[in-house]
């Protein structure tokens, strides 16, 4: 196996162009090392961990710019993330174990493009964008169109994710990330649901609603029909019931060792309901009538 430690993004891109599909990019290594041992050793390993400048969290106006090499622990211990992007903080806090959070990077979690990737539904509801470097220039891609299937994303075999741009949610909005797993730590979500709502000025109806579903389709996804159903309306008990059922119908889970498809749909319904109840209460101070 060939091994490279590029010192710049352009050097990494040259290596990717040269070695193509047989090259594997590694940063934290928490996923790639398992593949090397239990699946297949790539022809070439490109370790991007030593490229300077890709590990910072910076505020830029009303947006947070997160370098791809930022570790999950860096997100978890960042006051800016906790204060401005609480839904991403919650997902980082629930991510695997401390040991894994100390090495795993947000870029790795994204590029892995696993439907259950912990940070992905928060990034979807935050309307975040990926900055991807290619040899012919940089491309900015919203996460809404970034994921193409398990392990497949717009990064492809020639690109390098360099930064994640996350706009701050509207003032007055509330969010929650709910994960359903057997164990509290070190467990992959059976279902993950991120909910972000923004009330109207009077705090009587939903001006904006965003619902992200994880581990229940080939990619993490937004429950767009459910969002459209809710938008502009006050959240009543009847609407809540209809919305939760609709979110379940928008998912297309598989059965695997973690749970059956049927069970996952029930959990999508339950977590969507719970997420809306919690955020509505946080926004209005009231229970749903």
Partner 1 sequence: MSITINTTINGNAVTASTEPSMSLLEFLRDTLEYKGTKLCCNTGECGACTVIYNGKPINSCVTLAADANGAEITTIEGLAEGDKLHPVQQAFIDTGAVQCGYCTPGYIMSVKALLDRTKKPTQTDIEEAVSGNICRCTGYAKIVDAIQLAAQKL
- Contact residues toward partner 1 (CB under 8 A) are 1-3, 5, 26, 29-31, 33-34, 36-38, 41, 45, 47, 49, 73, 96-100, 102-103, 184-186
Give me the least distance between CB of 100 and partner 1, in Å please.
Answer: 6
What b/e readout covers 177-186, taking b as 16+ CB neighbours within 10 angstroms?
bbbbbeeeee
Are 130 and 147 within 8 A, CB to CB? Answer: no
CA distance 121 to 118: 7
Are 26 and 107 within 8 A, CB to CB? Answer: no
Cβ nearer to partner 1, comparing 31 with 250: 31
Give me the least distance between CB of 111 and partner 1, in Å please.
Answer: 16
Torsion of CA 146, 218, 31, 25, to 10 degrees: -40
Cβ nearer to partner 1, comparing 70 with 272: 70
Q: Report DSSP state, residue 52.
A: T
Terminus-to-terminus CA distance in the chain, angstroms?
Answer: 62
Of 121, 154, 150, 152, the C-alpha closest to 140 is: 154
At residue 11, the 3 state secondary structure works out as: helix
Cβ nearer to partner 1, comparing 77 with 205: 77
Are 90 and 122 within 8 A, CB to CB? Answer: yes
CA distance 255 to 277: 28
The alpha carbon of residue 197 and the mean position of all alpha carbons in its chain are separated, in whole angstroms, by 17
Cβ nearer to partner 1, comparing 98 with 228: 98
Are 84 and 63 within 8 A, CB to CB? Answer: no
Give me the least distance between CB of 44 and partner 1, in Å please.
Answer: 9
Are 141 and 159 within 8 A, CB to CB? Answer: no
Of 27, 8, 28, 25, the C-alpha closest to 16 is: 25
Give me the least distance between CB of 141 and partner 1, in Å please.
Answer: 28
Cβ nearer to partner 1, comparing 95 with 146: 95
Cβ nearer to partner 1, comparing 1 with 170: 1
CA distance 103 to 28: 5
Residue position matching structure tokens 């919305």 = 243
Cβ nearer to partner 1, comparing 40 with 136: 40
């Amino acid at each position: 196996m060939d091994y490279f430690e590029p010192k710049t993004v352009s050097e990494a891109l040259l290596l990717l162009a040269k070695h193509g599909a047989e090259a594997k990019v590694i940063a934290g290594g928490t996923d790639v090392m398992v593949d090397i041992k239990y699946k297949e050793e790539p022809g070439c390993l490109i370790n991007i961990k030593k490229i300077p400048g890709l590990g910072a969290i910076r505020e830029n106006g009303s947006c947070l710019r997160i370098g791809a090499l930022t570790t999950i622990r860096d997100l978890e211990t960042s006051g800016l993330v906790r204060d401005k992007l609480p839904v991403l903080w919650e997902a980082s806090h629930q991510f695997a174990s401390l040991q894994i959070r100390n090495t795993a990077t947000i870029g790795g979690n994204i590029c892995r493009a696993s439907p259950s990737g912990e940070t992905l539904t928060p990034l979807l509801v935050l309307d975040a964008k990926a900055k991807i470097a290619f040899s012919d220039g940089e491309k900015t891609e919203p996460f809404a169109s970034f994921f193409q299937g398990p392990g497949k994303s717009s990064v492809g075999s020639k690109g390098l994710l360099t930064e994640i741009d996350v706009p701050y949610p509207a003032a007055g909005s509330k969010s929650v990330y709910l994960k359903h797993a057997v164990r509290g730590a070190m467990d992959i979500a059976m279902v993950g649901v991120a909910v972000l709502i923004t009330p109207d000025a009077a705090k009587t109806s939903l001006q904006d609603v965003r619902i992200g579903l994880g581990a229940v389709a080939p990619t993490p996804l937004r429950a767009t029909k459910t969002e459209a159903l809710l938008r502009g309306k006050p959240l009543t008990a009847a609407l809540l019931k209809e919305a939760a059922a609709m979110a379940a119908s928008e998912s297309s889970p598989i059965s695997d060792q973690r749970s059956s498809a049927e069970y996952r749909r029930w959990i999508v319904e339950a977590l969507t309901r719970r997420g809306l109840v919690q955020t509505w209460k946080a926004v209005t101070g009231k229970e749903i009538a």
